[in-house]
Amino acid sequence: MLDWLSDAWRDYGIFALALIASNALIGFMLINAIFSVWLERKVAGRIQDRLGPTRVGGKFGWLQTLADGMKLLVKEDTIPAAADQFLFRVGPYIALVGSFLAFVALPFGDGVVAREMNIALFFMLAVMSSEVFGIILIGYGSGSKWSLFGGIRESAQMVSYEIPMALCVLVPVVVAGSMNLGEVAKMQSSIWNWLIFHDPFTFCAFWTYFTCAMASCKRAPFDLAEAESELVAGFHTEYSGFRWLVIFMAEYGSMFAVSGIACIMFLGGWSIGVPVELTTFFGETIGLGTFGMVIGNVINVTVFLTKGWILVFVMMWVRWTLPRLRIDQVMMMCLKYLIPISCVLLVGVALWTLWIPAPIQRYIAWGIFAVSMGATAWLVMQMITLAKLPPGTGMPGMWRLADEPGYHGAPKAEKPA
């Protein structure tokens, strides 16, 4: 019996591992969507000077999104009479597959990846671009002019912004010399080796890439495909129930996928900033063996998820801060500004690597690191300070009712005797 199991594992073990990995990734995408929806509501509430969800799940409304998900699962899933039945059904799943496949090559830790590839970066960008086919089918198959307008807008936007986004991730590739995401992450073991601090071109490439990633993920202020004021809800106007849930699982999955690329290519991957790989430290240096490697990877995965969710939080922060652009402004920003900027950054980092002496590169990298750490510390202190202020007092000139009786906790006026 043991011999049969051993032979069976040798023959079919790869399929069992693939099944385990795929289920783990699908589970992560679902949990990520649930957490991201709750976080977005809380971020929107804080920026709009209100509480956000509080009714379900205790003080912080933890179960609100889970309750919404259960509602969507049992909600009637209708199909318009004018819709193409096949395209209407298959469109959301094509979009979800495009987002899901990106996670196959995304490493969450040292060796914690479904499929390690030497061209992992290229693979992720390629499969994420296939999400646009699902968007087109969703818009065209709905049989609605609003959905069609939204689908065509989104396809034009996604295809356009993929060009500067790909050029920007080539900037750290020139420095690292590899498209293997695991190897690139291991090159940045200490915080001063993070590629965002390597030179001025990689520093600017990170912000340019992040801007393009927000536009590619249909995030405000680039969400003209979902402009409620003119397109009702854009390409997914006719969807409800489970298929609507699938569309948003794909969107939030893509948000974390592009954030994961940013973490690995610019922000050290799963590094906590110390000049040592934790799996090696716990497994070999301390001598804990396999158990130590597991401990190290648990820390690595936690750090990587935290970095990714911080970047997702910034996307939400931008959404609820900046007004929506017009569609011509969205396209002009890409074609007239971001593509030339990304080309200049790619040429600049190549010339920097070839012509600038190593000591000068090192001094400038330390300067960028010092300025960035100072700006980050100032930003954190500002956020902490503003979070402690009563509502309405953090934005002078915006609110005129902060001292009015009964406003957000202000003392109520005494009733006349």
Q: Give the type of residue at 373.
A: M
143: helix, strand or coil:
coil
| Cα 220 to Cα 322: distance, rounded to the nearest angstrom | 8
Dihedral pair phi/psi, residue 109, rounded to 5°: -170, -170
Return the pLDDT at 46. 81
Residue 257 pLDDT class (50, 70, 90 cuts): very high
The reported pTM is: 0.89
Average pLDDT over residues 210-237: 81
Cβ neighbours for 263, distance < 8 A, ≥ 6 positions apart: 269, 270, 304, 307, 308, 311
**Residue 398, pLDDT above cutoff 50:** no
Cβ neighbours for 222, distance < 8 A, ≥ 6 positions apart: 157, 161, 214, 215, 325, 330
DSSP for residue 337: I
Decide if 300 contacts 279 (C-beta within 8 A): yes
Residues 101-125: tens digit of each pLDDT: 999 999 999 888 988 899 999 999 9
| Cα 193 to Cα 172: distance, rounded to the nearest angstrom | 12
Going from N- to C-terminal start, the domains of the chain cover 71-385
**Residue 196, pLDDT above cutoff 90:** yes
DSSP for residue 80: -
Dihedral pair phi/psi, residue 112, rounded to 5°: -85, 80
Residue 415 pLDDT class (50, 70, 90 cuts): low
Mean pLDDT for all residues in the chain = 85
DSSP secondary structure, 276-326, as one string: S-HHHIIIIIS--HHHHHHHHHHHHHHHHHHHHHHHHHHHHHHHTTSPPPP
Q: Which of 158, 372, 138 is nearest to 234 (CA)?
A: 138
Question: Could you check whether the bond before residue 323 is cis, i.e. omega within 30 degrees of 0?
Answer: no
